[in-house]
Chains A and B, each alone.
Chain A
């Protein structure tokens, strides 16, 4: 005769409880009997009885096939009774309070860091690799259409000036892996240069993920006659396309947010919001490291094309001087024209020329 577990018995779908005892025969048949007098209340083979998993000290419930329920606070008693037939909960064993939990805390910290530092970038690379080109094309077309409707006007640059810049641009792109293909798998050009009058966007150049590069008249004016400078800026934009920065940034933000949301249920709503905000600030630093990568790309590509690798540094100098004059500009947010960036691009250009001849 196995030991007994005392608790309460509730017949199917009623809330009225009677005190009862649970016992089990050696062949695995579970019997519930009334606590006073031993009148049998329910009998079922243990395989048909659903036993709720153990979580902390909450009452265990054994649900019988007919819907009746035996409830008890005696968690150890239930485990002992069922021991010949069922394993004890592994997870509950892990959850017990003890020194081991300090190890778990350390592991959580280590894993969170590893996830953010290594797993997210890997997942981003995979996502970028499997994204069909049509996605970035649709994205880019739609952005350009809305900018054309809302901000841009047709370029007022003379045709021959456009042609000169266009030729320089083609020469640069033909040196990149993507540009060598001429057209992407969907048949659209690997790179295209577009001239626009920038409106309130002012002197600027930007790249869309499908290889569409837009150059504003204002930037061409700002450069004076220095076409190498403009090409240096275009090389920077080609770098963004080549390194697929916009897709990466998109997936990165999505990946980090998804992770926060999944673990979020156990963090609490307020803390979850703080975390999401925090990653937005981190994204800013990520976008600046992308700018720096594009700067280096510009230096390398210009060097490869046999042009002045430090040309983009002259662009930053103009920006710096202009910003100094005006005391504020939208450029600040997207392209921080820092003396550090000037210095870094110049240094890298010299290094390239010294080693690469």
Chain B
């Protein structure tokens, strides 16, 4: 059995050039170039991700993506228009959307898989509608209604849907993570969140109470009332930021832990074992420092941040190959439409293998 490590060979300065040109041309073309930008970006990241000496390739065509983006923007625009024009009818539309999301997720995953290849063999995704409905809609609802206690169950559904339906050429991927194993990654972030939230609530309560009574008079009689609204908004944001940060840290730790558990229970072609051993805390740390760096440099640090994260994830992922990885045979597939894929993209979902 040979261990093959994923390696990411992207370089920050090289990607900076690609990135700034992407942004520039996207702005100049009022967004139209964003489809071409996405293809170049994805090709750079896939093409620099190596396993056993070969890199991945992204084959989507910009026109497919552009059409997908236009359809999705029209849908989002129409949705916003409807909920603004008929707030009551908006409820019905919202329920409709709930049933439409699994379809978008399914199509998006199929598209992403079919435009990805490794050693000239394409991936494919065979997941159906109800699997996506269970994983994303029912899963999302049980997380919400159980206040996060059932999150590991939802995670199990989601990962099983994503990985069990994945094909590499004609070979299946098998993924069967046990829920109790996922729970081992749940306790630490759950306890951290409850304790942290209680602590923050106490601080915010005391400080807020004091500020409100001290400052409320001066707000009203302040000669510049415009400023006071900004102060109030700023205070609300300042009070919320620690909570959001706590929540983000906890979910990142959980996400990274689940990734390790799930990928370590995943088999390619019944014999090659996937391996993931990323440090949960470093993952959270890198994500947060990346976001802070990006925001405080007005976006300019984004190429550095993206390369850094790709390197980190690749270095923590590998494959125990029992035989040579040369044995795969492709099964040609049409890639289908990009609509679903663009929905996930535009809405900020970030899936990947």
Contact = CB atoms under 8 A, between A and B. Distances in A.
B272 to A, nearest CB: 12
Contacts of B48: 56-58
Interface in B50-100: 54-55, 57, 69, 73, 77, 80-81, 84-89
Contacts of A286: none
B300 A105 contact: yes
Contacts of A13: 120-121, 169, 329-332
A145 B31 CA distance: 38
Nearest to B40: A55
Given A55-B47, A56-B48, A263-B26, A268 B20 contact: no
A119 B85 contact: no
Chain A residues touching B, range: 35 or more
A17 B119 contact: yes
B302 A91 contact: no
A266 B21 contact: no
A111 B28 contact: yes
B70 to A, nearest CB: 11
A188 interface: no
A190 B81 CA distance: 22
Contacts of A254: 77, 80
A69 interface: yes
Contacts of A224: none
A105 B224 contact: no
A111 B28 CA distance: 7
Contact of A259 (B15, B31, B118): B31
B345 interface: yes
B299 interface: yes
Interface string A139-159: 100110110000000000000
B118 A15 contact: yes
Contacts of A12: 120, 330
A104 interface: yes
User: In this complex, which of A97, A108, A271 has the most chain B Cβ atoms within 10 angstroms of its Cβ?
Assistant: A271
A302 interface: no
A270 interface: yes
B20 A101 contact: yes
B230 to A, nearest CB: 8
A357 interface: no
A15 B268 CA distance: 15
A327 B24 contact: no
Interface in B111-170: 118-121, 169
In terms of DSSP, what is the predominant structure of the interface of chain B? Answer: helix
A50 B328 CA distance: 23
Nearest to B47: A58
A142 B91 CA distance: 13
A264 interface: yes
Chain B residues touching A, range: 35 or more
Given A104-B20, A267-B302, A56 B326 contact: no
Contacts of A91: 21, 25, 36, 40
A272 B291 CA distance: 9
Contacts of B10: 56
B229 interface: yes
B221 interface: yes
Interface stretch (A24-32, A198-206, A303-311, A332-340): A332-340
A105 to B, nearest CB: 6
B348 interface: yes
Contacts of B38: 265
Contact of A266 (B19, B84, B118, B119): B19
Interface in B257-313: 287, 290-291, 294-295, 298-300, 302, 305-306
29 contacts: A10-B120, A12-B120, A13-B121, A15-B119, A17-B326, A52-B43, A56-B10, A56-B11, A56-B18, A58-B46, A71-B120, A91-B21, A91-B36, A95-B18, A98-B17, A111-B27, A258-B73, A263-B23, A265-B37, A266-B26, A266-B37, A266-B302, A267-B299, A268-B306, A270-B291, A271-B299, A336-B229, A338-B224, A339-B225
Q: 5 closest Cβ contacts across the A-B interface?
A: A58-B47, A13-B330, A270-B291, A338-B225, A15-B119
Given A250-B84, A266-B19, A288-B229, 18 more contacts: A13-B121, A14-B328, A53-B43, A56-B14, A59-B47, A95-B17, A97-B13, A101-B16, A111-B28, A142-B85, A142-B87, A263-B34, A265-B34, A268-B305, A271-B302, A281-B237, A327-B220, A332-B229
